[in-house]
Structure formats: structure tokens, C-alpha cells
Structure 1
Amino acid sequence: MTRLLIAAGGGGDAITAAMVHTALHGRRAPALVLTYAWERLVVDPVPGPRGIADFTALDRLAPHLALVTAHTAPKAPAGSLLPRLAGGLWPALGLLDPYDGTVGLTRQIQAAAHWCGADRVDLVDVGGDIVARGDEPTLRSPLGDALVLAACAATNLSTSVYVAGPGLDNEVPRSVLAPRLGAPAFALAPEDTEDALPVLDWHPSEAGAMLVAAARGVRGACGTRDAPAAVVLDDSSPLVYRLAVEDALRLSPLAQALALCPSLDAAEKVSQAVCGFSEIARERRRAALLPPPAAPRPPREPDVVLDRYLAFERARRAEGLAYVTTRRITEDLVLTPTEADALYASLATGSPTRRVAPLWRLAPA
């Protein structure tokens, strides 16, 4: 039997699903992870998720089941890291296409279960917004999680919902989630992260990076991109909680309201009614404000980039941070790929204690 897992959100949840699978069944147990191609505008400038029609060279195993491989490619102008992720993770990756709403996702999950020979599903979320009630002031992206939760409930397959690292996505705080989750089922261990660690050298998932770091023993305040507060990594950060799908569904008014939803457009309207916003509409507004692509510029001298980093490091230390994500550095300093590669190589070799993979330790003043 091939185990069937579902990543509740984007690439970070797919990486987390692979780690949860390793913890439960071992590194090389056959598995299929279904995941959205729903990525930040820095990766995919087209708002909303990508569907089957947005890719070439998908491996169509059944009418409602498409695998993403290293040979798959998004159709321009869309972008996606899923093909590269498919080449870097051990489990196979299947594409979740939400354009036919909960009804379509239910068919896709059932087709995947049939292909796997599986009679159960493990639904995995890093951070915990899958059990959001919809009115939390810091909630930003509940729709994808709620859609797959509603779809899993509709399949009649036995489903466990795993929440890893509550609060690590910097949406619903851990203190708010804790009463909803009960006792932890297990903690991710360093050996569970071995396959994910090299992926996070290039993948921008900050929640995934912090979960891996916490599982490997990193403790302290970590700064992420575009978040109001630091995430504190402590002994609770690598914990994983297990809920029955029925219990998770009771906690999510949005997932309940999405039952039998026939399209993504209809799901947007439901999200607006339940949560007061549509994250896809937010993406459309942000995409409309994006400046046109800048003309390529020559890379700055390594010494100039290093000086900028050292000033950044001092400022973050003054804020009380001990660690930062790679994405935070890259985006705050507006680094080109060439500049980023040179800076990270310089930091890793010149001061080896700065690299605490997949995070960066801020040197003390």
C-alpha cells in the first residue's frame, strides 16, 4: 500500500507532510502527497492557485489524479516550485486542483486513495490555521486548508488531521490554538528532517524552515518576512498534534460552510461571508500593485553586500532576534540570486556558527 497524505496549504505543508510521514512510517515507506500549487507572488505572480490546466508534462494516472514530476513545468506567466520540490522530496507529489471547489477536491482525493490502495488519509498542516475559526485578527490564509478539510470529510475515508508546530506560520498564535488541539501525539526528531533539510536551502517556506530547525534543537526568537512579531522556537515548536477529521471540522466554521461547494469562485464568496475576507482577492490587489519587472542590474560587490548584511544583523539583534530565515535576509536586502549565493557562502565559511541550517544565527554585538 502507498500511504496517502494531503498537504493542507502550499509547499511548506508538503514538506511537513513528508516529515510527518517519515516520523510515522519511516523515510522510505511508499507515499503520495497531494498538494496545491498555491504560492506567494514572489514565486508565482499570478494570483490564486494553479490548476491542472496551468502545467505541462503532468503525469496523468487517472481522470482525477495528476502527478507533478521534475519534468513538469508551469505555463507562463505562472510560476511554481512544485516541479523542483518533486525532485527533492521522497514522496510522490500529486496536484490538488481547487477550481471545482470541494466537490472536485473530493473526487481527486478519492481517485488518489484508489490509486494508492489506501483506506485512510493523513491531512497535514504546519502552523494550525486549519483549525481557525475565521475571526482571528492575524488569520491570513484559511481557504485552502478549509477546502481540503471539507473535502476529506466528504470522502468517507478515515482521516487524521496532523497539526505540526502550532503558530509557526505566524498566523493564529500558539496560545490561541493550544486549547483546540489537546495533547501532542509526538514530536518531530532530527532524523525526521534529513530529507527536508537540503530542500529548505532553496525553498522559501519559513514555517517549514522553523519547524525543521526546532526539530533539530534550535531555540530562540526567529524573525520572518512580512510578520508583525518574531516566532519563538521552544520545546513546543516541534510538537505534532492529531485530531479526528470530525473534530477538526467542528472547529472550522469555514470548512463546514464549504461542504458541497462547486467552484473556487463560490468558495471565495463563502470565505468572504464567514471570515470577512478572501485571500485570493487580497492577492489580486497585491499583484495589481506590483511594479513591472526591473531590468537586470549588475551584482553588487561582495563587500558591499556583506556590509549591508552586517547592518541588517545589528538591527535585528537590537530587536531581540536570535535567528532569521533565509527568505528574510534575501528579501530585506533585495538580493539577486548571484548576490545571495555569494553572501551565504561567505557567511557559512567565514563564520561557521552563523549557519544553523536551515536558519541563520545572528552574531552577538
Structure 2
Amino acid sequence: MTRLIVAAGGGGDAVAATMLHAALYRGEDQAVILTYAWDRLLVDPVPGPRGPDNFTGLEQLTPTVWTVPADARPIAPAGSTLPRLAAELPHTFALLDPHHGAEGVTRQLEELVSDLAPASIDVLDVGGDILARGDEPTLKSPLADALTLAACCQVNAPVRLLVAGPGLDGELPLDYVRGMLGPLVHTFTVKDAESVSSVLKWHPSEATGMLAATARGVRGTCEIRDAGMPVSLTDEGPTVHQVDLDDALSRNELARAVLATESLDEVEAYSREICGYSEIDYERNKAVWLKDQAKAELDAESVLSQLGEFETEARERGITHTTFRHLTEVLSLSGSQRDSLRQLLITNRPEQYEAPLWRIR
């Protein structure tokens, strides 16, 4: 049997889909994970999501769905983590293409349902921003999740919406998300986290990294993103809840607005109108800003000194953990230096590594 798991926001949701498959289906069935190729600027210097035209080596699964095998490559200057995920995880990764709006994504889903006849269809969102109205002040990246939700609500097949790690994406507060959750489906364990432990050594997802960390028992407050947002690591962190799909759509104003869209430009326009911004505009502006910024050299003595200053200030803010993605931003390093930074810190201070997070000393 085939299980179809839709990674609602792409990126880390695709990694969390592997945890979900290991937990719920025990690896007995084949998984097809449908996901955006949208890795943000630390991995992909080109703003916005990638489509099939941005890759070589894709394999056609249906008329509009392409899979990303391990030997596929993004066309420079674009970047993508999907080929490496395909190489390291035992699943088929299929490319969710947002460039034809909700109608295009719906068409992709319908073709997959017809072609695969999946035993189940799960839509997975880590954090819960898929449940946003659109006007919440802490909301940062509603577009991808809203588009996925709009498409899934139009598929003529039973679809289950799952939210893992409520509040862990830093988009909506835990107390806010908690009130919208349905029944508990699963609580991730150490064993579940092991299914993605090697991937999280290099994958930049902060939300899924914290999901795995809480499954391993890590608790505290983790600082994330370029803005340094604090996220609580609690006993609710490793939980997975079901949410009624129709209730989510009736709440999500952006998802309702994009139901009939036929292009990504239309989706962006609705995002600007309803949310007041487009996250792709944010990436465009940040990409221009990054070009003008001088990147620091990865000098061990300098990095450790700056790290000490950061940790002192972080402790005063009540922070107990952070991500290597956030440290890369804090230390003015480039995304390509993140892995080297991680190795440097773990080598010098292994006692502070609480996989896959960094514990503030």
C-alpha cells in the first residue's frame, strides 16, 4: 500500500512527514511525500519556491507531478534540499508546484489519488500556522500552508489534517493554537526522532528540529529565526493532533480567498491584501540586502568569542537553547558556513549539543 503525506509548508514539514510515517505506519507501507521545494535563503538564494523547470533529473509520475530522485539537481543559482532528502530517506519525494495556484495543486493531488490509490492521505503542518486567520501579528509565512489547505479541501477523497508540534514554528503562540486542536493522534518518541536524526544534522528546519528535540525530552525556551523569536519547548512539543479540515478552511481567510487561483502571482496578491504582506516579497527584499552584506570569516577564536557574548545576552532573556540556523544569522555567517559552524561548536563544546539544538551555556 501507498501512504500519501502532503507536507503543508514544504521544508521541514517534509522531514517531519518521515517521522510521522515511522510513527503511524511503522514503515510497513511505501510513502509518497508531496512537498514544496522552498528552502528559504539560507539554502536557496533565489526567493520563493522552485518549480519543475528549476531542476534537472526529475522523473515524471503523473502528467503534472514530478518526483525528485537523489540524482536530481537544482539549476544554479537555485538550491534545494530535496535531492539529498531523497538520497538519505526511504521515501519518494514529489514536487508540489504552486505556480498554477490552488487549481494546479488540486490537479496534482487528484492525479496522485487516481494513480496511487493511496491507503491514506495526511496533510502535515508543524507548528500550526495552517490554522491562522491571516491577521495574527506573529504570523510570518502563511502563503504555502494556506495554498495547500485550499487545494486539499477540493480533492474528492478523504483527507486528514494533522498538526505536529503546536506552536513550534514561532508563528502562532501555543495557547492560541491549543484551542483549535482536535484529538491527540500520537506523541513522538525518541525512536520516532531517530528516523530523521542524520538528516537534522544538516537540514536547516528549525521547527522540525525542535519537534525532534522535544521528542527526545529537551525542554526550555529556544530562540529561532533571524529575528530571534523565543519558542517554548514543552511536553506538548512532540504531540500530533488531528484538526477538522473544513473548520481549518472556514477559519483561514487566505485559504478561502485562493481557492480558485490559477497562478502564484494571484496567491501573492491575496496574501498582500489579507495578511498585509507576501512572504516572497520579504525574501526578495532580504536577498537584495544579503548581497550587500559582508560575511564573516569562520575563524574559530572569533566565533567562540562572539558566541560567548551571544550566550550571555541570551541567558538574560531566559533563553535555554537555540538553533544552528539562528547562530549562523547571529554570527553574520552565510548559509554555506552553517555545517562548518556546527562542527566547530560541537568539537569544542560537545556537552552543549542537545541534538539537534545548541544548549546555551
TM-score, normalised to structure 2, is 0.93
The answer for the alignment partner of 2:176 in structure 1 is: 176
CA distances 1:95-135 after superposition (whole Å, capped 9, x unpaired): 00111111110111122223322154100000101110011
Of residues 83-92 and 113-122 in structure 1, the stretch that sits farther from structure 2 once superposed is 113-122
Give the superposition deviation at 1:341.
Answer: 5.4
The answer for the alignment partner of 1:116 in structure 2 is: 116
Give the superposition deviation at 1:232.
Answer: 1.3
Give the superposition deviation at 1:294.
Answer: 5.6
Equivalent-residue separation in structure 2 for 1:13 and 1:104 (angstroms): 20
Kept in 1: contact 2:206–2:325 (CA 8 A): yes
CA distances 1:171-226 after superposition (whole Å, capped 9, x unpaired): 11111111111343221111111121111111111111101000110011111122
Structure 2 counterpart SS, 1:230: strand
Structure 1 counterpart SS, 2:203: coil
Give the superposition deviation at 1:250.
Answer: 1.8
Go from structure 1 to structure 2 and tell me whether the alpha carbon gap of 1:77 and 1:221 turns closer, same or farther (over 3 Å shift). Answer: same
Question: Partner letter of residue 129 of structure 1?
Answer: D
Go from structure 1 to structure 2 and tell me whether the alpha carbon gap of 1:271 and 1:247 turns closer, same or farther (over 3 Å shift). Answer: same
The answer for the alignment partner of 2:39 in structure 1 is: 39
Kept in 1: contact 2:22–2:195 (CA 8 A): no
- Whether 1:312 aligns to 2:310 is yes
Equivalent-residue separation in structure 2 for 1:102 and 1:349 (angstroms): 46
CA distances 1:24-82 after superposition (whole Å, capped 9, x unpaired): 10135310000001121222222211111111100112211211111111112211111
Question: Partner letter of residue 314 of structure 2?
Answer: R
The answer for the alignment partner of 2:201 in structure 1 is: 201
Kept in 2: contact 1:37–1:95 (CA 8 A): yes
Question: Partner letter of residue 356 of structure 2?
Answer: P
Alignment of 1:124-203 (within 5 A): 124-203=124-203
Of residues 131-140 and 222-231 in structure 1, the stretch that sits farther from structure 2 once superposed is 222-231
Question: Partner letter of residue 359 of structure 2?
Answer: R
Question: Partner letter of residue 267 of structure 2?
Answer: A
Go from structure 1 to structure 2 and tell me whether the alpha carbon gap of 1:326 and 1:139 turns closer, same or farther (over 3 Å shift). Answer: same
Equivalent-residue separation in structure 2 for 1:251 and 1:354 (angstroms): 41
Kept in 2: contact 1:159–1:244 (CA 8 A): no
Question: Partner letter of residue 159 of structure 2?
Answer: T
Kept in 1: contact 2:42–2:334 (CA 8 A): no
Structure 2 counterpart SS, 1:348: helix
Equivalent-residue separation in structure 1 for 2:356 and 2:144 (angstroms): 26
CA distances 1:256-289 after superposition (whole Å, capped 9, x unpaired): 1211211111111222222222222222222233
Kept in 1: contact 2:5–2:122 (CA 8 A): yes
Go from structure 1 to structure 2 and tell me whether the alpha carbon gap of 1:277 and 1:28 turns closer, same or farther (over 3 Å shift). Answer: same
Question: Partner letter of residue 229 of structure 1?
Answer: M
- Whether 1:329 aligns to 2:289 is no
Cα RMSD after superposing both structures: 2.1
Question: Partner letter of residue 68 of structure 1?
Answer: V
Structure 2 counterpart SS, 1:223: strand
Give the superposition deviation at 1:350.
Answer: 4.7
Structure 1 counterpart SS, 2:212: helix
CA distances 1:295-339 after superposition (whole Å, capped 9, x unpaired): 9x8652x33332332232222222221111111222212346897
- Whether 1:353 aligns to 2:351 is yes
Equivalent-residue separation in structure 2 for 1:339 and 1:80 (angstroms): 16
Go from structure 1 to structure 2 and tell me whether the alpha carbon gap of 1:312 and 1:115 turns closer, same or farther (over 3 Å shift). Answer: same
Kept in 2: contact 1:254–1:270 (CA 8 A): yes
Equivalent-residue separation in structure 2 for 1:277 and 1:165 (angstroms): 25
Of residues 306-315 and 72-81 in structure 1, the stretch that sits farther from structure 2 once superposed is 306-315
Equivalent-residue separation in structure 2 for 1:339 and 1:170 (angstroms): 24
Give the superposition deviation at 1:227.
Answer: 3.6
Go from structure 1 to structure 2 and tell me whether the alpha carbon gap of 1:261 and 1:339 turns closer, same or farther (over 3 Å shift). Answer: closer
TM-score, normalised to structure 1, is 0.92
Of residues 242-251 and 329-338 in structure 1, the stretch that sits farther from structure 2 once superposed is 329-338
Structure 2 counterpart SS, 1:108: helix
Unaligned runs of 5+ in 1: none
Alignment of 1:1-365 (within 5 A): 1-118=1-118, 120-292=120-292, 299-300=298-299, 302-335=300-333, 344-345=342-343, 347-363=345-361
CA distances 1:119-154 after superposition (whole Å, capped 9, x unpaired): 541000001011100110111111111111111111
Kept in 2: contact 1:185–1:240 (CA 8 A): yes
CA distances 1:230-259 after superposition (whole Å, capped 9, x unpaired): 111011111111023222212212111211
Unaligned runs of 5+ in 2: none
Kindly tell me the number of residue pairs found equivalent between the two proteins: 361
Go from structure 1 to structure 2 and tell me whether the alpha carbon gap of 1:58 and 1:155 turns closer, same or farther (over 3 Å shift). Answer: same
Kept in 1: contact 2:182–2:241 (CA 8 A): yes
